[in-house]
Homo-oligomer: A and B are copies of this chain.
Amino acid sequence: MMNLTLKQLRYFEALIHHKHFGHAADASGISQPALSMQIKEMEESLGVPLFERAARQVRLTRFGEDLAPRVRDILRSVGEVEDMARLAQHTMSGRLRIGVIPTIAPYLLPSFIGHLKQEHPTLDVHIRETLTPRLITELAEGKIDTAIVALPVSEPAFEEVTIFEEDFVLVRPESDAMRPVPSAADLQLMKLLLLEEGHCFRDQALSFCNIRSALPRDGLDGSSLTTLVQLVAAGLGVTLIPQMAMSVETHSAAVSVAQFPEPRPKRKIGMIWRKTSPLTDQFHQLARIVEIAANGMH
């Protein structure tokens, strides 16, 4: 027996304002008896009278007066909650946690985040950069909202959308610039420098060359594309990098870059998120922004 409702609080406030049951009821869009009853019920559930009904005047009791500012406060807070909802309906806002793999992050993010901030200034973007398996775990656990990775991921719990495809290019020492571009088979015989175990890009490169990842490849792994390119410049071998990384990584290094002939090696970049996430619409919108950012890079 103490069941206040927001409706009662609203009627209470209206009656305080109008000091007249009929007028307050009109203002609240209900009939006078309905308002009378709700006020009465409110008084009964509180166990304390709120108004003193005298002839031709409705006066707040002392207790009612004490209550008034608190009730106003509550109604204001509720209004703010509703405002928040209205805002959240239309704009993308709040925190958004995006995972990105290391072979994409440094090249795509600067442009992507620029576009994103421009279109959704209220968005609070968090970036998590790590390898695909960990991103998958964190996504499943709700630690991130979405991830930008190489597809396919093939997790039944996730939705996948492709954003763009991207070729791999060959990076050789500058001295090799005039040589013919080796075939995949040729590559197996060359000193191919790759990222260390765990990077999906490593596996994609190996698969292009039909090399089994399990084979011992001592001394040929680097921890970042930057390292690999520097090793190539030092003449230790050749490597593949995604096209997106080309301009950043090879700009100031003594290496030459070559396209492969068809069928070129490539990877598919896309976004993934939990199928259960209610943000599907926003993620599609986000994918568009990634695409625009990526296109703007060539």
| Complex interface residues of chain A between 80 and 131 (CB less than 8 A to chain B) | 80-82, 84-86, 88-89, 94-96
**Distance A49 CA – B279 CA, assembled complex (angstroms):** 9
Closest chain B residue to A43, Cβ basis: B278
A59 engages B142 (CB within 8 Å)? yes
Interface residue from B7, B54, B73 paired with A276 (Cβ < 8 Å):
B54
Interface centre among A2, A62, A86, A96 (most CB of B within 10 A): A62
Q: A81: which of B74, B86, B94, B142 is its contact (CB, 8 Å)?
A: B74
Query: Quick one: which of A225-282 are within 8 Å of B by CB?
Result: 274, 276-279
| Interface residue ranges of A26-62 to B (CB < 8 Å) | 46-49, 52-54, 57, 59, 61-62
Size of the A side of the interface (Cβ < 8 Å), in residues, is 45
- From B62, B73, B78, B88, A48 is in contact (CB under 8 Å) with B88
* B82 adjacent to A46 (CB under 8 Å): yes
Please give, as numbers and ranges, the residues of chain B lying within 8 Å of A66 by CB-CB distance. Answer: 84, 88, 94
* Cross-chain contact A71 with B81 (CB below 8 angstroms): yes
The yes or no answer to A185 lying at the interface (CB within 8 A) is no
CA distance A84 to B74 in the complex (A): 15
- What CA separation (Å) do A67 and B5 show in the bound complex? 19
A77-B73 in contact given A4-B6, A53-B276 (Cβ < 8 Å):
yes
Does A160 touch B at the CB level, under 8 Å? no
Tell whether A63 is near chain B: CB-to-CB under 8 Å: yes
- Asked whether, in the complex, the Cβ of B80 is within 8 Å of the Cβ of A77, the reply is no
- Known contacts A70-B77, A80-B70; decide if A274 and B52 are in contact (CB<8 Å): yes
Question: A71: which B residues are within 8 A, CB to CB?
Answer: 81
Q: Do B48 and A89 touch across chains, with their CB atoms under 8 A apart?
A: yes
Q: Which residue of B lies closest to A62 (CB)?
A: B94
Which B residues are in CB contact (< 8 Å) with A63? 84-85, 88, 94
> A residues 1-33 with Cβ under 8 Å of B?
2, 4-7
B61 touches A278 (CB 8 A): yes
Cα-based distance from A59 to B279 in the complex (angstroms)? 13
> With the chains together, A94 CA to B63 CA distance in Å?
7
Please list the residues of chain A having a beta carbon within 8 angstroms of any beta carbon in chain B. Answer: 2, 4-7, 46-49, 52-54, 57, 59, 61-63, 65-67, 70-71, 73-74, 77-78, 80-82, 84-86, 88-89, 94-96, 142, 145, 157, 274, 276-279
Question: Can you offer 5 A-B residue contacts whose CB atoms are under 8 A?
Answer: A4-B81, A48-B85, A62-B279, A63-B84, A77-B77
Given contacts A5-B5, A66-B88, 15 further A-B contacts (CB under 8 A): A2-B86, A4-B82, A5-B6, A6-B6, A46-B89, A47-B88, A48-B88, A52-B142, A54-B274, A59-B142, A61-B279, A62-B145, A62-B279, A63-B85, A66-B94
Closest 5 CB pairs of A and B: A49-B278, A46-B85, A54-B276, A62-B94, A47-B89
